[in-house]
Amino acid sequence: MTLRLAGGIDVGSCTTKSVIVDDGGNILGSHVLYSGTDFEGASDIAWRETLSLAGVSSTDSICVFSTGYGRNSVSFATNSLTEISCHARGCLHYFSGPMTIVDIGGQDNKIIKLDQKGLRVSFKMNRKCAAGTGAFLEEMALRLRLPLEKLNDLAKQADGEVTLGSYCTVFSGTEVLEKIKSGAALDHIVRGLFHSVVKRILEMDTFTDTVVMTGGVIEHNPFLIDLLKTHIQNDIVTPPHPQIMGALGAALYALQEAPHNMD
Amino acid sequence: MSDRQKQLRKPIAATSQMKKLMAAHFLEIDEAKKTGKQKVAWCTSVGPAELLHSMGFLVYYPENHGALLGATRMATDVIPLANAVGYSPDICSYLTADVGAYLKGVTPLTKAYGIQNIPRADILVYNTNQCRDVQDWFSFYAREWDVPIVGIHTHRSIREVQDFNIADLVSQMKSMIPTLEQVSGNRFDIDRLRDVVDLSLQCTKLWRRVLECGATKPAPLTFFDATIHMAPAVILRGKPEAIEYYKLLIAELEDRIKMKEGAVPGERHRLYWDGMPVWGKLRELSDQFYQLRTNVVASTYCNSWIFDAFDPKDPFESMARAYTELFNVRDESFKEWYMDNWIENFSIDGVIFHDAKTCPNNSNNRYSMPQRMAKRLGLPTLVIHGDLNDLRCYSEEQTRTNIEAFVEQLDQKTG
Ligand code: SF4
């Protein structure tokens, strides 16, 4: 008997994520790479890598759903859904409702509320600005000439922080320059930047029930969770791979549609 | 959308008649400017047009021109010219588009009707019932052309329209008359005003009927259709052509209702749209909803030209009331009551609030209304961020995703 498999591709504006799951929704393989400018190419590579990691050779019977900003660029997907639905579906694989999902992505943030049954009550995507997203941290790391991977440790080790007041990325950049001029420590500045991300999240919506944090920014900068904990009383949890929740959700939706028994 | 789907979409046949009426309207004004036969008054869209018609003016509506600049996507190119001379990108983008187009010497009327320039006003008449921007907008042209400007300053954020509101507005309207007489060269005639108010009343009643057709399941028209077909109610009210036109349109819509022909075949969800249209994206948005088999069947915006209060017996009082009962003029509690009624009568499944960056006056999401409404009515609400004209404030992808995700949410609800 051939196992029933399904795949999900989340083509985000920054990274493309790919997941393959078995009948039980277990992840057999996943892959993340930069989306670049060729979404179709990125999704092809991500999918091929995922298949090889999972040791799957024939793709004929695998139903694949796509999601994310470039969801319509995945030529081999049989269906597409928005990242809002797919993130929620991915999180429901690990946690049960009610919950508030906070996704910090490369270029947008999302807050999705699910009720007890796991049905969506509301959602919000951030407005047309990079404030509070991965793009904000990237831009600031560039200004500080710091590799992105170093941000989390620097923020964590800091014994103080600078306050950044503006919610505009450009204004924040100017503020950072002023802090540098006035001799603020680098780790204090980075922690201030992290706090700025948390503030942008907090002003998007109210936080009800358990908070589930997802997204690439959380995967690589888990200290943001510690900072958020200083502001809210809710339980905060994260799934094992916060960055691939959208792709996982797409795969789980695909699984519902995948044909049964391929023997 | 595939070509096949486009073909399947049945256009509203009356549209061709409307296009003729629009052409005749603009050409008549253009001709009058050339010959000097009749004076031209500029009027805000919810201004005292009846008074102007009764005094023999041809009436031109710059907001309509603003919307045309938006719909033809000229707006985003010309707005920066107005920004550069000090009109902020944060203020009304009808104003900035219109002023920008004037500064550049372009108008969508050229391509549509072969008209080279917008008509120079002989007098500018505004009503601040919708916003203060109209006063600043008209003042630009008053300075530019050195022509008289008069206006009505409507009371704002009112719950119930009170007698003292009406008395004040009547006296403001009457105080315009000497200037209007002087510019037009005609004497004010109350009977003539009664006739025009009567024509406006007939027009507005028919326009209400057009919009109420949307309550039928499936709805025979969409919000996007209504934004086009409201043109006669805006710019031809007070004239017999508008009445004839709506009779024609209603007959067509009633036929569709009889045949159970929805404007969106297989209509699954019915939405209410609050706020301004995104003029430059009407086609894209309409196509997206069509593909999602979701129809936007009612709106606050298109309802703004329903003036139930007109009464030829009391022309001044009823005009004052009609133009003050306007949704925009009212406080939050009235607005909520009003929307709840339409939402109930139109079997609405969800509400989209368009937060138009440059028009706070028509963006009702800004004081937590969507959250209150979701709680009160148990209806999902969505806020999309954009603008009526300035596409620099609009993210196509983000809007598409928001709408798609919203419809997925409605799908979850209906199972
Ligand atoms: S109501 Fe809004 S769109 Fe209309 S003129 Fe005023 S600011 Fe402009």
The CATH number for A81's domain is 3.30.420.40
CB burial class (10 A; 0-12, 13-18, 19+) of residue B266?
exposed
pLDDT (0 to 100) of residue A75 = 94
Nearest CB partner across the interface for B405, out of A69, A82, A128: A82
Q: Is the pLDDT score of B6 beyond 60?
A: no
Give a yes or no: residue A187 inside a domain: yes
B90-139 per-position pLDDT tens digit:
999 999 999 999 999 999 999 999 999 999 999 999 999 999 999 999 99
Residue B92 Cβ < 6 Å to ligand 1: yes
Measured distance CA(B132)–CA(B360) in Å, rounded: 11
Residue B94 Cβ < 6 Å to ligand 1: yes
pLDDT (0 to 100) of residue A261 = 42
The runs of H, that is alpha helices, within chain A are: 39-54, 83-94, 134-143, 151-157, 169-181, 186-202, 216-220, 223-229, 245-257
Looking at ligand 1, which residue's alpha carbon is closest to its atom 6? B131
Shared-domain flag, residues A188 and A219: yes
The runs of H, that is alpha helices, within B85-189 are: 93-104, 108-113, 133-145, 163-184
CA-wise closest residue to B366 among B375, B374, B357: B357
A98-114 per-position pLDDT tens digit:
999 999 988 889 999 99
Residue B127 parent element (H or E): strand B123-127
CB burial class (10 A; 0-12, 13-18, 19+) of residue B415?
exposed
Shared-domain flag, residues A105 and A232: yes
Residue B87 Cβ < 6 Å to ligand 1: no
Q: Is the pLDDT score of A81 beyond 50?
A: yes
CB burial class (10 A; 0-12, 13-18, 19+) of residue B98?
buried
Ligand 1 centroid from CA B371, angstroms: 24
Q: What is the DSSP string of B193-250?
A: HHHHHHHHHHHHHHHHHHHHGGGSSS-SS-HHHHHHHTHHHHHSTTSHHHHHHHHHHH
Shared-domain flag, residues A26 and A41: yes
Nearest CB partner across the interface for A82, out of B374, B380, B404: B404
Shared-domain flag, residues A112 and A224: yes
Number of domains in chain A: 2
Q: In the numeric block, which tokens belong to residue A42?
A: 């990125």
Gyration radius from chain B CA atoms: 21
Q: Do B408 and A82 touch (CB under 8 A)?
A: yes
Cα distance between the two ends of chain B: 26
Looking at ligand 1, which residue's alpha carbon is closest to its atom 5? B134
B224-276 per-position pLDDT tens digit:
999 999 999 999 999 999 999 999 999 999 999 999 999 999 999 999 999 99
Q: Could you tell me the pLDDT band of residue A139, with boundaries at 50, 70 and 90? A: confident
- Give the structural domain span for A201: 98-238
Q: Could you tell me the pLDDT band of residue A262, with boundaries at 50, 70 and 90? A: very low
Measured distance CA(B391)–CA(B407) in Å, rounded: 24
Q: Which residues pair with B151 in a beta bridge?
A: B126
Shared-domain flag, residues A44 and A138: no
A167-199 per-position pLDDT tens digit:
777 888 888 888 888 999 999 999 999 999 999
Looking at ligand 1, which residue's alpha carbon is closest to its atom 8? B92
Q: Which residue has the higher pLDDT, A141 or B299?
A: B299
Q: Do A108 and B393 touch (CB under 8 A)?
A: no
Among B278, B390, B404, B410, most A C-beta atoms within 10 A, so best to mutate, is B404
Give a yes or no: residue A92 inside a domain: no
User: SS3 for B99?
Assistant: helix
Residue A33 parent element (H or E): strand A27-34
Q: Could you tell me the pLDDT band of residue A128, with boundaries at 50, 70 and 90? A: low
A117 touches chain B (CB under 8 A): no
CB proximity under 8 Å: B 357-386 to A: 374, 380-381, 383, 385
pLDDT (0 to 100) of residue B409 = 97
Cα-flanking dihedrals φ and ψ of residue B116, to 5°?
A: -75, -40
Shared-domain flag, residues A54 and A125: no
Shared-domain flag, residues A225 and A256: no
Shared-domain flag, residues A146 and A224: yes
Q: Which residue has the tokens 């969770």?
A: A225
Q: Could you tell me the pLDDT band of residue A130, with boundaries at 50, 70 and 90? A: confident
CB proximity under 8 Å: A 90-109 to B: 108
**Average per-residue pLDDT for chain B:** 96
Shared-domain flag, residues A205 and A151: yes
Which residues make Cβ contacts (< 8 Å) with residue B267, sequence separation at least 6? B217, B218, B219, B293, B294, B295
B171-195 per-position pLDDT tens digit:
999 999 999 999 999 999 999 999 9
A24-66 per-position pLDDT tens digit:
999 999 999 999 999 999 999 999 999 999 998 877 679 999 9
CB burial class (10 A; 0-12, 13-18, 19+) of residue B239?
buried
Q: Do B401 and A81 touch (CB under 8 A)?
A: no
pLDDT (0 to 100) of residue B338 = 97
Cα distance between the two ends of chain A: 4
Shared-domain flag, residues A12 and A104: no
Shared-domain flag, residues A28 and A46: yes
Q: Taking residues B69-95, what's their average pLDDT?
A: 97
Per the CB < 8 A criterion, the answer to whether B133 and B92 are in contact is yes
pLDDT (0 to 100) of residue B10 = 84
Shared-domain flag, residues A54 and A140: no
Q: Which residues pair with A18 in a beta bridge?
A: A9, A31
Q: Is the pLDDT score of B1 beyond 70?
A: no
pLDDT (0 to 100) of residue A87 = 97
A201-213 per-position pLDDT tens digit:
999 999 999 999 9
pLDDT (0 to 100) of residue A171 = 84
Q: Which residue has the tokens 């929704």?
A: A25
Per the CB < 8 A criterion, the answer to whether A17 and A30 are in contact is yes
Give a yes or no: residue A167 inside a domain: yes
Q: In the numeric block, which tokens belong to residue B234?
A: 């805006």
Where b means 16+ CB within 10 Å and e means fewer, B158-179 reads eeebeeebbebbbebbeebeee
